Amino acid sequence: MEYVTLSNGVQAPVLGIGTFLISPEDTVNSVYSAIKMGYRLIDTANAYMNEKSVGEAVNRAVSEGLVTREELFISTKLWASVYENEDAVENTLKRLNMDYVDLLFIHQPAGNFMAGYRQLEKAYKEGKAKSLGISNFYGEKLDRLLNDVEIKPHVMQLEAHPYCTEKEVRDRVAEYGTVLMGWYPLGHGDPGLVKEEIFTRLSDKYRKSNAQIVLRWATQMQFITIPGSKNPDHIRDNGDIFDFSLTDEEMAEIAKLDGTKKYYNATDEEVEKYAGMHLPFEG
């Protein structure tokens, strides 16, 4: 495994397993399998409704001696509807059955997101979050947050893949040392991206799958990368990308794909409406 150093000195694995759209039952099996295969980063969220399952898998792995909690990097996200709930962080930790998380995000630039980030800062000072992040922030809302927080975000989570590297946003946060964590790293299952000629050619050269080439590109971009899967074979293959490196020339050729497309293009109104929905555990 390779690691990236966050601006506060915390070491984060560059590859982990994502749990978006994975059912609670499948999450237990996926996360446990991933840990056995050497994964050390697990990403979840309030809104994924599987934090309890992540905690169950982690505690099982720890109790069996496969790994220590300190060797793992757990990230989760507060949902917008709990930004003003003073118990949101504590409730999140209870669902995970953990004393702290390694990375805590606010999930959407909606509602009273400044109140949500204040909760993150408080959790950081109390040792309940080892690093802080923001997810899906752009433009004016990003500027407003950066100009009004005490602790700048260590990580920003955005859609990121060869078609979309979010260079403008990365440049905006570069002065703070903020690292990008990319979701949809394989283009949300778009065969057009994975089957691009450059990836097929490099697949033949390195004797890796096209998907493995894409994921290796992402880690060499220093993007923390979180492909999700409930298939043990896919989980194993996704992690088997550190025995080769793409050349500078190959990285430059892949860079020509940037700007092709994004898969998630919600308007501010749609984000506010969706993020305002309450989660079942809120009652």
Q: What integer pLDDT is reported at residue 274 of this predicted model?
A: 82
Element (H, E) at 193: helix 191-194
In terms of DSSP bridges, do strands 103-106 and 17-18 run parallel, antiparallel, or are they unpaired?
Answer: unpaired
pLDDT tens string 178-212: 999 999 999 988 999 999 999 999 999 999 999 99
Q: Catalogue the E-assigned strands of 96-203.
A: 103-106, 132-135, 155-159, 179-183
Q: What integer pLDDT is reported at residue 276 of this predicted model?
A: 83
Q: What percent of the chain has pLDDT over 70?
A: 100
Q: What integer pLDDT is reported at residue 192 of this predicted model?
A: 96
Q: Which residues are catalytic?
A: 48
Domain range list for the chain: 9-187+223-240+267-277
Q: What integer pLDDT is reported at residue 149 of this predicted model?
A: 98
Q: What integer pLDDT is reported at residue 189 of this predicted model?
A: 86
Task: Map residue 161 onto helix, strand or coil.
Answer: strand
The two tokens of residue 163 are 């078609």
pTM: 0.97
CATH superfamily of 9-187+223-240+267-277: NADP-dependent oxidoreductase domain (3.20.20.100)
The two tokens of residue 43 are 């990403």
Q: What integer pLDDT is reported at residue 275 of this predicted model?
A: 83
- Low-confidence spans in the chain with pLDDT less than 70: 283
**Sign of the C-alpha dihedral, residues 202, 205, 211, 212?**
negative
- CA angle, 280 then 120 then 11, to 5°: 110
The two tokens of residue 254 are 């892949």
